[in-house]
A and B are shown apart, each in its own frame.
Chain A
Amino acid sequence: MIPAPFDYAAPSTVEEAVTVLADAGEDAKVLGGGQSLMPVLRMRLAAPTTVVDLGRIPELRGIREEADALVIGAMTTHDEVCRAESVRAHAALLAEATHTVADPQIRHRGTFGGSLAHADPAGDLLAPALALDASMTIAGPAGRRTVPAAEFFVDFFTTALAENEVLVEVRVPKHTGWQAHYEKFNRVAQAWSTVAVGAALRMEGGAIAEAKVGLTNMDTVPVRARTVEAALIGRPVTAEAIREAARDAAAGANPGTDANADAAYRTQLARVLTARAVTAAART
């Protein structure tokens, strides 16, 4: 099928995009990489009157390195994130997770900002953004504001972004030297996570000095496994210590039931995948 008719705008600055969105009213839709939006338009699950394409705005593209953070433009593609030396060095968890997203063709078009704005609970980049304490810069009619990841993800497919706002960039604090792994459980024919766990560790003398752990698809929003993080600190990297710390991985989460897994199975997956993610991160 093909999409219903719409007007198309391709602004060249963020400010222009915000003006176009304001003028177009409620039925306007932002187009990022299109890898979630295009199937939705083709199946006519949405029929916006205006599509505002962010693809011609240079400011939204690329990765900038600051003293204490990487700043990733919303329109930076998954492929660009995977290839960036700076992401591997300072936000290894994000690099690991991005490698698992979809397939090569979709990684060539789909964007970091689009994934976060889409906020599919099974999306693989939400939990890493949360675990690494990222913050989002949003532009709207009243100017720009910054929202921490913990407040950005509001609900199932819902973020702090208003209809007339644009996600501009994401600031990811540097986690230089941290070891990371993203452990994903999915059906072979579909890359979407049933459950996945991202772990980033700062190691000191063979023991875990600091830990950050994020869970994918264990709730309507990504979940930070604080209980696991606290239990890992100061622990040596033994199978038993890790298994014990991972026991309460799902504490505070409210996993759903769908065709892939029920809530009890997801809770068990969270435990098992947390232990695997931490073990693999400690060994990298």
Chain B
Amino acid sequence: MRITMTVDGTSYTDDVEPRTLLVQHLRENLGKVGTVIGCDTSNCGACTVHLNGRSVKSCSVLAVQADGAEITTIEGLERDGQPHPVQQAFHENHALQCGFCTPGMIMQSIDLLGDTPDPSEEQVREGLEGNLCRCTGYQNIVKAVRAAAGELGAKR
């Protein structure tokens, strides 16, 4: 099936099998390997991207379902060579160890901050409920998201 989608600002048209997962299309056909796969059960959230502005688990969407959609991945966040404030905050607050969960954590954090610009610790934990981290114990992830909220708030 022929599908067209805009990924990180560039339009791509490809022929895909209907069974192709969105995450697989991003990684294998478009080379967007920043988005990773961590499970078979839709639990881990490592594959989180934005589809038409809302966070989704790209392992749980078919590429053909995203025909005509606009996708943002972790690779599309940088502006003028500068990391996104949430990426910067993860870096500064040591919010990662192995880094496998990080692309999904950052994409979901950005979605959360869109809805809740100044979240409490509780709200951050609830907002990241669908993202699992096997390394950090979440403490510094929560700290990073709240720091990023402050940073983004100061810019507004």
Contact = CB atoms under 8 A, between A and B. Distances in A.
Interface of A: 1-8, 10, 31, 34-35, 38-39, 41-43, 51, 53, 55, 79, 102-106, 108-109, 189, 191
A104 B60 contact: no
25 contacts: A1-B40, A2-B20, A3-B21, A5-B18, A6-B19, A8-B1, A8-B18, A8-B64, A10-B64, A31-B65, A34-B61, A34-B62, A38-B59, A38-B60, A38-B62, A39-B60, A42-B40, A42-B59, A43-B40, A53-B64, A103-B130, A103-B131, A104-B55, A104-B127, A105-B56
Contacts of B42: 35, 38-39, 106
A2 B108 CA distance: 24
Contact of B18 (A51, A102, A109, A189): A51
Interface in B41-79: 41-42, 45, 48, 51, 54-57, 59-62, 64-65
B17 A5 contact: yes
Interface string B1-44: 10000000000000001111100100000000000000011100
Contacts of B41: 39, 43
For the complex, would chain B's binding face be called helix, strand, loop or mixed by DSSP majority? mixed
**Highest count of chain A CB atoms <10 Å: which of B56, B60, B130:** B60
A53 B57 CA distance: 18
A2 B130 contact: no
B65 A34 contact: yes
Contacts of B132: 189
A38 B19 contact: no
Nearest to A106: B130
Given A4-B19, A38-B21, A103-B130, 17 more contacts: A8-B62, A34-B62, A34-B65, A35-B60, A38-B62, A39-B42, A53-B65, A104-B55, A104-B130, A105-B48, A105-B55, A105-B56, A105-B130, A106-B42, A106-B130, A108-B51, A109-B56
Contacts of B61: 34, 38, 109
B64 A39 contact: no
Interface in B106-140: 108, 111-112, 127, 129-132
A109 B112 CA distance: 16
Contacts of B64: 8, 10, 53
A105 B127 CA distance: 9
B19 A3 contact: yes
Contacts of B130: 102-106
Given A2-B24, A53-B65, A7 B129 contact: no
A55 B1 CA distance: 17
A124 to B, nearest CB: 14
Q: Which 6 A-B pairs have the closest CB atoms?
A: A103-B130, A8-B18, A38-B60, A103-B129, A3-B19, A108-B54
Contact of B55 (A7, A53, A108, A189): A108
A51 to B, nearest CB: 7
Contacts of A35: 42, 60
B26 to A, nearest CB: 14
B1 to A, nearest CB: 7
A104 B111 contact: yes
B7 to A, nearest CB: 18
A66 to B, nearest CB: 28
Nearest to B49: A105
A105 B57 contact: yes
Contacts of A41: 19
Contacts of B48: 105
